[in-house]
Amino acid sequence: MKQAVATEGPQPSVVDSTLMKRVFYAFATLALLSVAISLGGKWFGRSIAMAGYTDDTTVHEVIIGNNVVAVPANVIRFAQARRDGIASRLDLYVRYPEMDGYSEAARDDFNHTGASKDIVFLSFEPQMMSRDMSGRFAPIYSALIAQPGTPGPGGTLLYTFSDKSGYLNEVLAVANRPGKDPFVARCLSGPSADESLAPCERDILVGDNLSLTYRFPREFLGEWQALDAAILGEAARVLKTGR
């Protein structure tokens, strides 16, 4: 009987050892889970703060037709387009006049929290028309506007469209350029213009059969020459063609 009692004596320590192991593993699991949540929370928090933007400056080469557009990720507007390869269209955004992409320093401009509007939106896509907006003025737009125009910023004339033109709540901004087709842009008018970040739009032909449409705040009409030159310069910088 004494031997039997002696044999049964150590068993509680075995139970205690097993319990302690379980407690240890539980705490270890909780610790790992806490670290994962912390890291995940920081990543997710940054993701929310970025709101779809990126400050990554890795250059991506996007092929559209016979053109290569080489731009950094922080200039590409949509996350799914931040990659190398073939695309039917590429949407960008830049801060004007810096012509740079999203960064911590430019956060307020891209979030539109400041008093001024500074972002220009650009879209590259295959050319669908034989003429750009300037080239369409004489054969198309001139027949759709009501004369006379009214003086606008930067020496432009602003024309309203006729009721049958199809361009409701829009005006046409036109400025003469010696030896060239006029500068032409379409702008929203009325409440629609006030609610839009970039109510004016202009398209130009660039590269190899490529159309570049850029949308900009109406405030930039007063410096349309500098703006158009900056857009053309940026297009020349990022575009490589097969020609």
pLDDT of 8 higher than 50 = no
Q: What is the pLDDT of residues 52-107, one digit of tens each?
A: 899 999 999 999 999 999 999 999 999 999 999 999 999 999 999 999 999 999 99
Model pLDDT, residue 116: 82
- Could you tell me the two tokens for 106? 């430019």
| Dist CA 94 CA 58 (whole Å) | 16
The whole-angstrom distance between residue 15's C-alpha and the CA centroid of its chain comes to 63
Please identify which residue in the block is written with the tokens 């590429």. Answer: 90
Instruction: Output the average pLDDT for the chain.
Output: 85
Q: What is the pTM assigned to this prediction?
A: 0.79
pLDDT of 185-227, one tens digit each?
Answer: 999 998 889 889 999 999 999 999 999 999 999 999 999 999 9
Q: What is the phi/psi pair of residue 224, to 5°?
A: -60, -35
Q: 10 Å Cβ neighbour count for 11? A: 9
Which runs of consecutive H residues, i.e. helices, occur in the chain?
Answer: 2-8, 11-50, 107-110, 191-195, 224-238
